[in-house]
Amino acid sequence: MCFLQKTMDELPQLKIGFIGAGNMAYGIAKGILTPGDVVASNVTVSAPSKNNFARFEKMGVTLTHSNEEVVQTSRLVFLAVKPHLIPAVLKAVSAHVTPQHVVVSVAAGVTLATLEGLLPGGSCVMRLMPNLPCMLQEGALVLARGTGCTQEVASQLKDLLSPCGLVEVGPESWIDAHTGLSGSGVAFVYVFAEALAEGAVKMGMPSVLAQRIAAQTILGAGHLLRDGEKHPAQLKAEVCTPGGTTVYGLHALEKGGLRAAVVDAVEAATQRARELGGAKRVEETR
């Protein structure tokens, strides 16, 4: 039987664990619990200190300092710790991982091959790359499955995670590109929002108001892009009028090299994610 039961009526029996209590663990846990199908008391979260426990306490989940307890009491386990901690964490808990477990890592750069090598042979392992807006259930997540996981399990996990935002399943090669596009891309959008607001301040608008309007502009444009089923170029054309303000502004952006800079930023972030994965593989073979 797969880790998710066949009907939603049986989801209250699903035991879910999180090793790590940071922002990604919080966002994913909140998304999973939002529909009300999973019972909060069946979710266990571990961390070495109580610093991040307060917001989890409000959810009603079980809290512990023992990673082993998380694995022993859960069937679906999310590894939500920093990448450099993964080898030590898995070494400590691997003896408790059984064929019935599904282990999902959200650690950037840690490959499926690395994860599988640190766990018992045949373990069902997946990589999940979320982004910060998961905390508001507006995330973008990409999921890749290891050799020990079936497509059915991946599809079930996708359904379980769907309240967190957009969830896509694909090859592991997508994970690093998604890190550059959406994981790091959130910060790129914040830089753009900051610049938009600064432009308005330069033109005489109060700073606080400019920041609010910049945020709403990005939010509204994002909704149109996501829900309108139109290519960005088409939406851009609909805003432009011959000789109007927008086309003049776009010309200034093109002269400043915005398009090339954004492409370079995504490429650089993606390449760095690949380098981090390569560095970990080299370190583990020493």
In a domain, 281, yes or no: no
- In terms of domains, do 161 and 36 share one? yes
Which pLDDT does position 264 carry in this prediction? 98
Query: Would residue 180 count as lying in a domain?
Result: no
| pTM of the shown model | 0.86
* 178 is a domain residue: no
Domain with 81 in it:
8-171
Residues 130 and 218 in one domain: no
Q: Are 229 and 239 in contact (CB under 8 A)?
A: no
What is the pLDDT at residue 252? Answer: 97
Q: Are residues 127 and 21 in the same domain?
A: yes
What is the layout of strands, in order, in the sheet containing 76-79?
62-64, 43-46, 16-19, 76-79, 102-105, 124-129, 139-145, 165-169
CATH of the domain at 260: 1.10.3730.10
* Predicted local distance difference test score (pLDDT) of residue 4: 54
Say if residues 100 and 148 touch (Cβ distance below 8 Å): no
Binding residue numbers: 19-24, 67, 80-83
57 and 198 belong to one structural domain: no
Does 144 lie in the same domain as 74?
Answer: yes
Binding residues for NADP(+): 19-24, 80-83
Residues 68 and 30 in one domain: yes
| Secondary structure (3-state) at 20 | coil
Longest Cα–Cα distance of the chain, Å, equals: 68
Ranges of residues in the chain with a pLDDT under 70 are 1-10, 278-286
Which residue positions form the known binding site for NADPH? 67
Q: Where are the beta strands (DSSP E) in 93-189?
A: 102-105, 124-129, 139-145, 165-169
Query: Given this model, what pLDDT does residue 286 score?
Result: 42
CATH, residue 42: 3.40.50.720
Average pLDDT of the chain?
Answer: 92
Residue 241 has a pLDDT of 95
Residue 283 lies in a domain: no
Q: What's the number of domains the chain is made of?
A: 2
Does residue 161 share a domain with residue 190? no
Say whether both 85 and 161 belong to one domain: yes
